[in-house]
Structure 1
Amino acid sequence: MVNVAKRSEREALLLQTLLTAKTLDTAQAMSLLNVSESTARRLFAELEQQNLVIRKYGGIQLAQNGPYDYSFEQSEQAMREEKQRIAQRALELIECGDILFLDSGTTLQQLCAALACRLRDAELGNVTVVTNSLANLQLLSPYCTVILLGGEYRARRMDFAGFASNKFIQNFHFSKCFLGADGVTLEDGFMGTDADTSSLVELAVARSGDAVVLADSSKLGKRSFVCYAQPEDIGALVTDSGADAAFLDGLSGKLSRLIVA
């Protein structure tokens, strides 16, 4: 049986090496990972299936618009109306007195914008937010207490992640956490495109009374890099009406709540 954790470490090392090497051939991957040719080729195929790399003759290169090409500004424009509808429905789950963890990402940014309006208009109060996102901090800090997690700053994501962030978040307990997802499948659950983000949100789920995932329909049925939660770990999924009905039927039996905006 393949050790899943070890396989993920190998995939992460390949991706990190591609950041500087740009391309890797089979022999280089075998040497880097100390694996057989068949294992290296299998890893190439798995990364290609996740749309993280492009296979070329004898090797691989990073895919365009992969996780290392992520741009907050570009992602902000994708499915904007759907994200706004999702945010409005998710906002209904927030109550006075909540202590929240809010993930980074553009769908969560829409939730923070909607939450800021309710706090500004005194329709909601006594909310405390812990977040790793500068965008969330900027939106919410005028209207409620915001605690920003430290860690390694990632400019293209406008957030913090890594070892220090993981240590910091373990000091808190949350009434609810609101998370993004880059992929959701019936088999693998909820996934992210990078290990640091996935590790952080996995800790947030474990330290929350209720976990809510905000994912537009383009993420459903799509496999990503790292799994951070199974459906039974998540209290609710909020998505948009463009989601495939058959996929939602399969997922609804595993979730406590399924909310379609």
Structure 2
Amino acid sequence: MFAEERKVKILEIVNSNYRIEVSDLTEELQVSESTIRRDLQDLEQAGLLKRTHGGAVKLETTSFEPTMDEKELVNIEEKMEIGKKAAAFIQDNDTIILDAGTTTLQIAKNIQAKNVTVLTNSILIALALSKNKDVDVVVTGGHIRKEILSIVGPITDRIIGQFSVDKAFIGANGITIKEGCTTPNIEEAHTKNRMIQSAKEVYVVADHSKFGKVSFARIAAIDEIDGIITSKGIERSIIEQYKSKNIRLIYN
């Protein structure tokens, strides 16, 4: 395979999977690690991907955000796994916040606890929970973001500020140790941060594709959350990296 053909193949893989590892590429393309690293360097210089420690990720602008329909198609099995895992943290009589998102929607669908009160800014989560007789739902007012059917803005933030809950489950578009948890929309980030301030315990829920990405607006620094609930397929290198910084990753 010629170098240009190999680079085209690398781009196809990263655009399909969001993240790739050098070791996986060497095995699939049958070339040395040094060759792959040179290819990744060339592709990064051309503005076609972003290199990471041990691999590369799909290049997206920090302000890019998929629609709700697009998000629902990505890593759905991981999100279902995370939803069940996070729902297990919810106990009888808990008060919780569920942020708007496809992963938090899976939490709503898996709540088994009794006499739970949920505060949410998600139209879809409110609708899903309306069928659960053991859950009392409080929906924030505010401005509806039609792309992802979330409710945000000053009215939303004021309403959230009137509550104090046991646990909050927050979604993020990007997670890094340095930049913390981020999302493309400023209003969304502010509302998520207000949710964090209103909770005794805070858990970020995110599939593997969110690690190593940085979006435009910061939700919170990594030390402002109590744990990150993710899928069991998360890369060992990420686990070790976060463990070394005493950041709790919940993946089993």
Where does residue 240 of structure 2 map in the other structure?
249
Aligned to 1:179: 170
1:82 aligns to 2:78 (yes or no): yes
> Once the two structures are aligned, what percentage of the paired residues are identical?
28
User: Quick check: 1:217–1:241 contact (8 Å CA) kept in 2?
Assistant: no
TM-superposed deviation, 1:256? 5.3
Counterpart of 1:131? 120
Normalising to structure 1: TM-score of the pair? 0.70
Question: Partner of 1:11 in structure 2?
Answer: none
**What corresponds to 2:187 in structure 1?**
196
What does residue range 144-223 of structure 1 map to in structure 2 within 5 Å?
144-223=135-214
Trace 1:65-144 onto structure 2 (pairs within 5 A).
66-67=64-65, 70-115=66-111, 118=112, 124-143=113-132, 144=135
Cα distance in 2 for partners of 1:256, 1:177 equals 17
Q: Which position in structure 2 is the counterpart of 1:31?
A: none
Alpha carbons of structure 1 residues 205 and 250: separation in structure 2 relative to 1, 3 Å: same
Is the 2:109–2:128 Cα contact (8 Å) retained in structure 1?
yes
One-letter code aligned to 1:88: K
CA shift for structure 1 position 254: 3.7
Superposition misfits of 4+ residues, deviation over 4 angstroms: none
Question: For residue 146 of structure 1, what is the amino acid of its counterpart?
Answer: V
Describe the SS at the equivalent of 1:138.
helix
- Amino acid of the structure 2 residue aligned with 1:74: E
Q: Is the 8 A contact 1:102 1:129 kept in 2?
A: yes
Distance 1:139 1:255 in 2: 35
1:202 partner amino acid? N
Aligned partner of 1:51 among 57, 60, 67:
60
1:87-129: CA deviation from partner (whole Å, max 9, x where unpaired): 11111111011111100010111111111xx2xxxxx211000
Partners of 2:236 and 2:187 in 1: CA distance: 32
Give distance in 1, aligned partners of 2:244 and 2:194: 24
Quick check: 1:103–1:132 contact (8 Å CA) kept in 2? yes
Count of aligned pairs between the two proteins: 194
1:226 maps to 2:235: no
Structure 2, unpaired ranges of 5+:
1-48, 51-58
Aligned equivalents of 1:146, 1:88: Cα separation in 2: 19
If the length of structure 2 is used for normalisation, what is the TM-score? 0.72
Tell me how large the CA RMSD over aligned residues is.
Answer: 1.9
